[in-house]
Chains A and B, each alone.
Chain A
């Protein structure tokens, strides 16, 4: 998931890491870091699992729409719910893959100021990165918090898509996944912030 093949890069500016992984430390340091890296791996697995689910949903979305085309042009009747379901699925897909996209540093940003700064004053640039990631964690965290409100009202009011009498689906399961995706994304920002902060404090090298 952290694959950064620049040949098919996205909308964002790309950057390569300035240095490799954290430098080797003392024995105690190593034990502590292996404990930490265990957690880091586990967290990475969570982020990747959500993204994989989102990825599968893109394929599902494609098949759903193709099935609708076939049904409409072949049998003269559209499948129920497709457009409303497709719209809600899309929101879900974006939120599920949000964490992995942050992790791969694929959000659009300008490197004009930051890239040269990282070369000259790596620790200052890391401090700046920590602030950016913190703002990200706060904003996406607030969005997740607001989504929790949306989820509970959708649950209480039995919100649904579709038309009564012709087919309906409750919206709360979708909201639940949206909430899950946003929460993971917020935590991923927080993790990045801590990592940058450590680099800024000189505990590890600036890797971005």
Chain B
């Protein structure tokens, strides 16, 4: 039996579900497959939680071989991975994380530009990651879409785009600042993920949950440095490909389950507070009103990339078609307006 040493790392700690699942699913499954054949064994050198690099260098670190395997956080790499941002510029397309990851997995096989965007960085993609669905959490109840006009909502980075045309102002911040921002009136609420709101206890200051189901977003991939990959014996490569697919599928399912469970837990934990947590679904009419009030951000995004010679229009169409083919129902046909 031959032992192979590999470093596996991440910018985020293992308490983040998809980072923890690198251990419990990707690594464990790889070990399991290899153990069956008994030919190879992997000695994992784990450096999770930013021991080797921070969130600002997840792509570079795999590309440069600082780690062999790592989670690449594509949402923070809009310059290097522009096509991978597509789902962030097409909100209200699907709120099903498992479905979206299936589409991305398929696109990676069928869309050469998308695959090339990743593989130009000297790496091999093994599995994919995404977010759960975005909703609106506010300190005061809102009765519908019209109420957003004039509100200040914490929506950092690309999420600011999702508020354009709604009349709401986007306030910058981060998961750690939302709580005090809302408490002190810097913002009236937040556009965020149930998986982020629950551990940060934001429901304590923003107990009115409007379930908008704005949709999930593609967030990145588990990747291995190409040089490290090329040195692996074939049976190990095969085991990792299989483990990566298993990881992606399990992660998608896990996201959907956790999202529902997180909302339930909020209601439970926030039942005794001054204003108990209550979840109100936004009406279909209001969801449509919201997405139609927005400027065509998908087109803006695609135009910018097409100018630089990237086939972003075709990719956006393929993404939304992929969602439809699996039974998803995009609220706005972003692809018809490109």
Contact = CB atoms under 8 A, between A and B. Distances in A.
Real complex partners, A and B? yes
Interface stretch (B102-110, B169-177, B195-203): B169-177
Contacts, number: 47
B152 A164 contact: no
A76 B157 CA distance: 16
Contacts of A160: 78-79
Contacts of A78: 171-173
B301 A72 contact: no
B78 A164 contact: yes
Contact of A77 (B79, B170, B297): B170
A166 interface: yes
Interface in B142-182: 152, 157-158, 160-161, 164, 169-173
A85 to B, nearest CB: 12
Interface string B78-109: 11100001000100000000000000000000
A164 B300 CA distance: 9
Nearest to A80: B172
Interface of B: 78-80, 85, 89, 152, 157-158, 160-161, 164, 169-173, 186, 297, 300-301, 304
Interface string A134-166: 000000000000000000000001111001111
A194 B164 CA distance: 60
Contacts of B161: 163, 165-166
B18 to A, nearest CB: 23
A83 B80 contact: no
A158 B77 CA distance: 11
Contact of B301 (A82, A158, A164): A164
Q: Which 7 A-B pairs have the closest CB atoms?
A: A78-B172, A159-B79, A76-B152, A77-B169, A165-B161, A163-B157, A166-B160
A165 B79 contact: no
Chain A contact patch, size range: 10 to 19
B301 A165 contact: yes
Given A73-B186, A76-B169, A157-B80, A165 B300 contact: yes
Interface of A: 72-73, 76-78, 80, 82-83, 157-160, 163-166
B160 A163 contact: yes
B171 A77 contact: yes
A164 B160 CA distance: 10
13 contacts: A73-B186, A76-B152, A76-B169, A77-B152, A83-B172, A157-B79, A160-B78, A164-B78, A164-B301, A165-B158, A165-B161, A165-B300, A166-B160
Contacts of B85: 164
Nearest to A77: B169
Given A164-B78, A165-B161, A165-B300, A76 B171 contact: yes
B219 to A, nearest CB: 15
A157 B304 CA distance: 15
Q: From DSSP, what is the main secondary structure of chain A's interface residues?
A: loop
A82 B171 CA distance: 12
Contact of B171 (A72, A83, A159, A164): A72
Contacts of A76: 152, 169, 171, 186
Most B CB within 10 A of own CB, among A77, A83, A158, A163: A163
Most A CB within 10 A of own CB, among B80, B164, B300, B304: B80
A163 B85 CA distance: 11
A182 B170 CA distance: 38
Nearest to B172: A78
Contacts of A73: 186
Contacts of B172: 72, 78, 80, 82-83
B288 to A, nearest CB: 22
Contacts of B157: 163, 166
Contacts of B78: 160, 163-164
A77 B152 CA distance: 8
B170 A72 contact: no
A82 B160 CA distance: 15
Contacts of B80: 157, 159
Given A163-B161, A164-B301, 6 more contacts: A72-B186, A83-B172, A159-B79, A159-B80, A160-B79, A166-B160
A78 B85 CA distance: 24
